[in-house]
């Protein structure tokens, strides 16, 4: 019988009893870049003094979400679960006052963040439940928070078929952007016959500008992702997995290495997982900075050590993936959803969100709003709620103009559609996509043509160069947008741009090329007049005249 | 023996009998149906990069590259619609605009697949502005030259060198429109130790990017006869998944 999951919490609790107060200091990338490590050091120094019955503990935790207020610190007191203070913009000089206040069970009001504000209240944390609570570098804290219980349940009480059924019942859809039903994917891989072995791949090559959901999850709760991968391995019959993380995330890689090492030590990874007959190993593969590696076939090529270029599908990786073996490839956030689904049941998950898009979604909220950072909200929430309530409204009292979702494959959603319920389908109808979860709010000073130009320039430099339309078409589109932005565009350029969008979308090989015109198409659809205003004067009228019947 | 099912499909309303492991492009060519292509070459693995062999499949809005798509029973394929012709001309225009394809001074003038296709598809002019990149010519090899100005990155040279000659001298460096064919680790071709000077890459190159030294304008003609011959002699044609040969 595997008893680590019972013994560790008992030992941890005995340790907890020694401390009256606990400081949680965010040490995820965003706060760390604001020197939260110095805050952590200062707090430790001041908390060290012995005061009977008032021992303070200071620990580094993952992302608390409100990155614009970083560095973030929260304080909790033993046996007082409701007494919880969150501080923002903490610097090392604040340490003595914070420690003093904690011992007196008081707060430092000038640093206090209102935990009653919509940013905290309107979120529903499933994926991020442990983020900002546990120390990501200690497996013990993950286990105390209920970690690896789902894995033990799966291995000792469920058949692989039952695990897949539970995932199907949850209605979970791929969080990488496409929204393919996760349960269906698992079923396909389970059915596929391996020549030698099957593989689990975790896609952590998050490359959309402004998106940092996967990064935060990997940095704040790495064991959650690993647990999801092991469960997936059991469900589809794979014994090996690779975590593909982009090279720009050294902190995430470092924490994953530690997490894998700790899990091996406790017998959670390796031969005989949790003392059962099932074996599973996870290894890390680091990307070399190509956006296209987020495309699954390019990612597979990269893991194999080849140049990362996509190939035509079908056959899909579920049949021919890594080394031509059946491969299950899911996004970081998708895997992070698995353990809670197993623990609470698929129907519990399906009851959250909308009928077609169940559960929650993590968004990286950025741009011209007061509260920027990482948020997790139920599907079906409106843009209005995210921008006005959670985001706290637009900066400088300006008006919202649009929200950009889906990165370079997505589009801009104008403010008049802000009442739309967010799910995979509604975003598609509006000419954007869910994407991996980047959400950039733009105020009324934003130049939409320039936004399109920025994303096209991004696609141009990130095209792998394999297929002609993406390699050359994006260069032509980018040049045309530059020209239009400079005010030198003619009506010919305008029509050529629209035509290029169509050709590149229809003939490109992979998702990167096929969706690269989306930022242009969506801004053309909602902000056509902005393009026309930028054309040379004599051409403006001509385009407007010719356009009238069409619009 | 070959274990693959025989299917019936239609290409341009012509009924065709097909092995399930033959691509649409192979099937079309067997039956005299013309689907243009530049990266595909019989005897090499499919690449799917030139996007000229795109076809429509009834029941789907999407386009499929014929060189990487396999038939399904009853599949109806359209390979010559106006939409496809337009797209093919556009993609061909992309190729012409990307680098410096000046036929009148090219060694392969009159013997160039890119030029032939442009004529066959009725391309009268290039719609997109020429990008006019500054590119080099590598004449360091004792027998052959590499002119990046004429390269369309079809990777036939990369594949023939790796799959047939087994040297893997060629590969691609960089990405997007800065991608280039490189010998070994981006060395001058003449200094690439892995090159056996077999010249297969030169013969499979569809344009004047790879050519024999000493050839002047319009003198270079490619000879690809060796590929089907090698395929036959090695018994590698149409290997099925278990590696069995017919």
Which ipTM score applies to this complex?
A: 0.93
pLDDT category at A51 given cuts 50, 70, 90 is low
Q: CA–CA separation, A507 vs A298, rounded Å? A: 18
Cβ <8 Å between B172 and A465: yes
The two tokens of residue A483 are: 């020209």
Using H for helix, E for strand and C for coil, what is the string for A356-375? CCECEEEEEEEECECCCEEE
Contacts of B87 in chain A (CB under 8 A): 503, 506-507
Supply the angle between the helices A448-462 and A518-526 in degrees, to the nearest 10. 170
CB count, 10 Å around CB of A7? 10
Supply the angle between the helices B82-98 and A491-507 in degrees, to the nearest 10. 110
Q: CA–CA separation, B168 vs B235, rounded Å? A: 21
A113 and A66 in contact (C-beta within 8 Å)? yes
- The better pLDDT of the pair A47, A213 is held by A213
Cβ <8 Å between A464 and B175: yes
Q: How far is A527 from chain B, CA to nearest CA, in Å?
A: 25
CB count, 10 Å around CB of B212? 16
Measure CB to CB from residue A509 to each of B48, B90, B129 and give the nearest one. Answer: B48
Half-sphere exposure of residue A248: CA atoms within 13 angstroms, side-chain side:
14
Supply the angle between the helices A474-485 and B82-98 in degrees, to the nearest 10. 80
B211 and B144 in contact (C-beta within 8 Å)? yes
Q: CA–CA separation, A124 vs A130, rounded Å? A: 12
- How does pLDDT run across A414-469, given as a tens digit for each residue? 999 999 999 999 999 999 999 889 999 999 999 999 999 999 999 999 999 999 99
| Residue A309 pLDDT greater than 80, yes or no | yes
Q: CA–CA separation, A12 vs A16, rounded Å? A: 6
pLDDT attached to residue B243? 39
Phi, psi values for residue B137, rounded to 5°: -120, 130
pLDDT category at A550 given cuts 50, 70, 90 is very low
Residue in A closest to B52 by C-alpha? A507
Please provide the DSSP assignment of A333-355 as one string.
Answer: HHHHHHHHHHHH-HHHHHTSB-S
B23 and B66 in contact (C-beta within 8 Å)? yes
pLDDT attached to residue A1? 62
Q: CA–CA separation, B16 vs A373, rounded Å? A: 58
Residue in B closest to A291 by C-alpha? B175
CA-wise closest residue to A300 among A340, A332, A267, A328: A328
Cβ <8 Å between A462 and B176: yes
Q: CA–CA separation, A322 vs A191, rounded Å? A: 16
Q: What is the mean pLDDT of residues A174-189?
A: 94
Q: How far is B211 from chain A, CA to nearest CA, in Å?
A: 23
pLDDT attached to residue A351? 96
Paired sense of beta strands A21-26 and B180-183, if any: unpaired
Residue in A closest to B69 by C-alpha? A314
Phi, psi values for residue A480, rounded to 5°: -65, -40
Half-sphere exposure of residue A258: CA atoms within 13 angstroms, side-chain side:
17
Query: Which of B39, B53, B114, B177 is most worth mutating to test chain A (most A CB atoms within 10 A of its CB)?
Result: B177
Q: CA–CA separation, A241 vs A232, rounded Å? A: 10
User: Is B175 near chain A, with CB under 8 Å?
Assistant: yes
Surface-to-core class of residue A159, CB atoms within 10 Å of its CB (0-12 exposed, 13-18 middle, 19+ buried): exposed
Cβ <8 Å between B48 and A311: yes
Question: Could you tell me what percent of chain A has a pLDDT over 70?
Answer: 96
Cβ <8 Å between A311 and B87: no
Reported residue count of chain B is 246
Q: How far is A177 from chain B, CA to nearest CA, in Å?
A: 19
Cβ <8 Å between B176 and A463: yes
Q: Among residues 155-174 of chain B, which lie with CB inside 8 Å of chain A?
A: 171-172, 174
Supply the angle between the helices A332-344 and A213-220 in degrees, to the nearest 10. 60
Measure CB to CB from residue B87 to each of A460, A474, A506 and give the nearest one. Answer: A506
pLDDT category at A543 given cuts 50, 70, 90 is low
Cβ <8 Å between A465 and B177: yes
DSSP state of B223: -
Q: What is the mean pLDDT of residues A377-385?
A: 96
Cβ <8 Å between B176 and A473: no
Q: How far is CA A511 from CA A103, A364, A408, A428, B170, in A?
A: 55, 22, 11, 15, 27
| Residue A471 pLDDT greater than 70, yes or no | yes
DSSP state of A409: G
Q: Tokens 């499949």 correspond to what residue?
A: B57
Q: CA–CA separation, A104 vs A243, rounded Å? A: 45
Please provide the DSSP assignment of A262-305 as one string.
Answer: HHHHTTSSBSSGGGSS--BEEEEEE--S-GGGGSHHHHHHHHTT
Contacts of A499 in chain B (CB under 8 A): 90
pLDDT attached to residue B240? 40
Measure CB to CB from residue B175 to each of A290, A472, A475 and give the nearest one. Answer: A290
Contacts of A461 in chain B (CB under 8 A): 175-176
The two tokens of residue A323 are: 């080394």
A with B: how many residue pairs have Cβ under 8 Å apart?
96
The two tokens of residue B20 are: 């399930």
- How does pLDDT run across B211-221, given as a tens digit for each residue? 999 999 999 99
Measure CB to CB from residue A475 to each of B51, B64, B131 and give the nearest one. Answer: B131
User: Is B226 near chain A, with CB under 8 Å?
Assistant: no
Q: Tokens 């006019």 correspond to what residue?
A: B132
Q: CA–CA separation, A529 vs A18, rounded Å? A: 66
Cβ <8 Å between A463 and B175: yes
Q: How far is B79 from chain A, CA to nearest CA, in Å?
A: 14
pLDDT attached to residue B246? 34
pLDDT category at A542 given cuts 50, 70, 90 is low
Q: What is the mean pLDDT of residues A59-79?
A: 92
- pTM of the full structure: 0.93
Phi, psi values for residue B180, rounded to 5°: -140, 150
A522-541 core/surface letters (b: 16 or more CB in 10 A; e: else): bbbebbbebbbebbeeebbe
Measure CB to CB from residue A465 to each of B90, B131, B176 and give the nearest one. Answer: B176
| Residue A78 pLDDT greater than 90, yes or no | no
The two tokens of residue B225 are: 């006869």
A403-437 core/surface letters (b: 16 or more CB in 10 A; e: else): bbbbbbbbbbbbbebbebbbbbebbeebbbbbbbb
The two tokens of residue B240 are: 């099925």
Q: What is the mean pLDDT of residues B165-185?
A: 95
Pseudo-torsion of CA A241, A245, A249, A251, nearest 10°?
Answer: 0
pLDDT category at A547 given cuts 50, 70, 90 is low
Surface-to-core class of residue A113, CB atoms within 10 Å of its CB (0-12 exposed, 13-18 middle, 19+ buried): buried
Pseudo-torsion of CA A188, A191, A195, A198, nearest 10°?
Answer: 60
B184 prior amide bond cis, ω within 30: no
Surface-to-core class of residue B11, CB atoms within 10 Å of its CB (0-12 exposed, 13-18 middle, 19+ buried): buried
The pLDDT mean for chain A works out to: 93
Cβ <8 Å between A292 and B175: yes
| Residue B1 pLDDT greater than 60, yes or no | no
């Amino acid at each position: 019988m595997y008893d680590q999951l019972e013994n560790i919490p008992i030992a941890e609790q005995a340790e907890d009893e020694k401390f009256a107060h606990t400081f949680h200091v965010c040490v995820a990338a965003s706060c760390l870049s604001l020197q939260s490590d110095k805050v952590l050091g200062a707090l430790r120094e001041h908390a060290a003094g012995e005061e009977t019955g008032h021992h303070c503990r200071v620990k580094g935790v993952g992302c608390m979400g409100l990155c614009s207020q970083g560095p973030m610190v929260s304080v909790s007191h033993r046996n007082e679960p409701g007494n919880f203070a969150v501080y923002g913009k903490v610097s090392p000089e604040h340490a003595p006052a914070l420690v003093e206040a904690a011992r007196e069970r008081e707060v430092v009001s000038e640093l206090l963040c209102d935990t009653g504000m919509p940013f905290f209240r309107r979120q529903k944390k499933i994926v991020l439940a442990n983020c900002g609570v546990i120390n990501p570098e200690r497996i013990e804290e993950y286990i105390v928070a209920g970690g690896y219980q789902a894995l033990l349940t799966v291995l000792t009480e469920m058949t692989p078929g039952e695990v897949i059924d539970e995932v199907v019942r949850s209605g979970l859809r791929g969080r990488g952007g496409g929204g393919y039903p996760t349960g269906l994917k698992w079923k396909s891989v389970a059915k596929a016959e391996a020549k030698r072995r099957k593989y689990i791949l975790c896609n952590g090559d998050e490359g959309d500008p402004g998106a940092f959901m996967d990064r935060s999850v990997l940095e704040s709760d790495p064991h959650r992702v690993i647990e999801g991968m092991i469960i997936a391995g059991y469900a589809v019959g794979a014994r090996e997995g690779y975590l593909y993380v982009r090279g720009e995330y050294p902190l995430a890689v470092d924490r994953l290495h530690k997490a894998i090492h700790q899990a091996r030590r406790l017998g959670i990874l390796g031969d005989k997982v949790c003392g059962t007959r099932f074996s599973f190993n996870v290894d890390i593969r680091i990307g070399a900075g190509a956006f296209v590696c987020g495309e699954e076939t390019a990612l597979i090529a990269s893991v194999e050590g080849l140049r990362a270029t996509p190939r035509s599908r079908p056959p899909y990786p579920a049949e021919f993936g890594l080394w031509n073996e059946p491969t299950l490839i899911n996004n970081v956030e998708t895997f992070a959803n698995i353990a809670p689904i197993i623990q609470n049941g698929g129907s519990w998950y399906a009851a959250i969100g909308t009928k077609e898009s169940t559960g929650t979604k993590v968004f990286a909220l950025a741009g011209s709003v007061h509260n920027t950072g990482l948020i997790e909200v139920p599907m079906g929430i409106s843009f209005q709620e995210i921008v006005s309530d959670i985001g706290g409204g637009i900066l400088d009292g300006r008006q919202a103009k649009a929200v950009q979702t889906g990165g370079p494959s997505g589009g801009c959603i104008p403010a008049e559609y802000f009442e739309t319920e967010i799910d995979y389908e509604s975003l598609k109808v509006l000419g954007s996509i869910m994407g991996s979860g980047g959400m950039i709010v733009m105020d009324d000073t934003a130049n939409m043509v320039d936004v399109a130009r920025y994303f096209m320039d991004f696609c141009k430099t990130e095209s792998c160069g394999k297929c002609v339309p993406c390699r050359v078409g994006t260069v032509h589109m980018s040049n045309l947008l530059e020209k239009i932005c400079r005010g030198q565009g003619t009506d010919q350029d305008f029509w050529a741009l629209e035509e290029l969008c169509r050709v590149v979308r229809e003939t490109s090989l992979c998702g990167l090329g096929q969706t690269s015109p989306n930022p242009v198409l969506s801004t053309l659809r909602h902000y056509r007049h902005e393009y026309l205003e930028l054309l040379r004067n004599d051409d403006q009228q001509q385009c407007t005249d010719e356009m009238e019947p069409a619009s | 023996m070959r274990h693959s099912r025989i299917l019936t499909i239609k290409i341009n309303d012509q009924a065709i009998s097909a092995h399930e492991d033959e691509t649409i492009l192979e099937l079309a060519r067997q039956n005299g149906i013309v689907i243009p292509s530049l990266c595909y070459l019989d005897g090499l693995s499919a690449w799917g990069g030139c996007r000229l062999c795109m076809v429509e499949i009834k029941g789907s809005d999407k386009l499929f590259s014929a060189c990487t798509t396999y038939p399904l029973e009853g599949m109806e394929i359209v390979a010559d619609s106006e939409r496809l012709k337009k797209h093919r001309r556009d993609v061909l225009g992309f190729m012409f605009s990307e680098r410096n394809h000046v036929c009148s001074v090219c060694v392969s003038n009159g013997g160039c697949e890119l030029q032939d296709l442009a004529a066959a598809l009725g391309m009268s002019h290039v719609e997109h502005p020429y990008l006019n990149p500054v590119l080099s010519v590598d004449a360091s090899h004792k027998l052959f030259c590499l002119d990046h100005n004429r390269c369309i990155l079809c990777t036939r040279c990369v594949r023939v060198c790796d799959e047939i000659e087994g040297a893997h001298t060629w590969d691609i460096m960089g990405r997007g429109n800065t991608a280039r064919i490189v010998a070994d680790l981006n060395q001058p071709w003449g200094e690439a130790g892995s090159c056996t000077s077999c010249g297969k890459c030169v013969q499979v190159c569809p344009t004047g990017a790879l050519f024999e030294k000493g050839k002047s304008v319009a003198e270079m003609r490619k000879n690809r006869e060796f590929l089907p011959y090698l395929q036959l002699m090695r018994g590698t044609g149409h290997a099925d998944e278990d590696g069995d040969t017919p």
